[in-house]
Amino acid sequence: MCNVIDNSGAAVAECVKVLKMKRHAKVGDRIIVVVQKQRNFGPESGPGGSVSVSAANKVRRGDIRHAVVVRTAKKYQRPDGSVVKFDDNACVLINKGGEPIGSRLSGIVGREIREKGWSKILSLAPMHL
């Protein structure tokens, strides 16, 4: 399970597969996720307004999508010896071509996504670390 920090419409997604990897996913890895929870946009779309929510959202609950991991709660070591850890696991949804589905990100992303070649996600992020 990880938080989705873009404005694609998903809030929480569950990882079902880590691509090109036989182990757990790290920052910058591409994964396949199932959208578990949708995000509510705006105050007018209340708990009952499922119609407006689905209109604004690009993805729906139960969708299978690709995503990139941008934060991990598991601490990891950088080549310079420093150890970094975040408060949660977070990902950004992308399409099959590798472009982000959402147009905006909220929250910090790890610096490792630059080394893995996700510069588009990096440019959307408010801050990288």
Map tokens 């950004």 to a residue: 92
Q: Which of 17, 55, 88, 95 binds another protein (CB under 8 A)?
A: 88
107: buried, middle or exposed (CB in 10 Å: 19+, 13-18, 0-12)? middle
Q: Which of 62, 75, 96, 99 binds another protein (CB under 8 A)?
A: 75
* Closer to another protein by Cβ: residue 51 or 127: 127
* Closer to another protein by Cβ: residue 53 or 125: 125
Q: By CB under 8 A, which span of 8-16, 53-61, 78-86, 113-121 interacts with another protein? A: 78-86
Map tokens 């708990």 to a residue: 47
> Which residues have a Cβ under 8 Å from the Cβ of 34 and sit 6 or more positions away?
13, 14, 16, 62, 63, 64, 65
> Which residues have a Cβ under 8 Å from the Cβ of 78 and sit 6 or more positions away?
84, 111
Establish if 37 lies at the interface with another protein (CB under 8 A).
Answer: no
Establish if 104 lies at the interface with another protein (CB under 8 A).
Answer: no
Q: Which residues between 40 and 59 bind another protein (CB under 8 A)? A: none
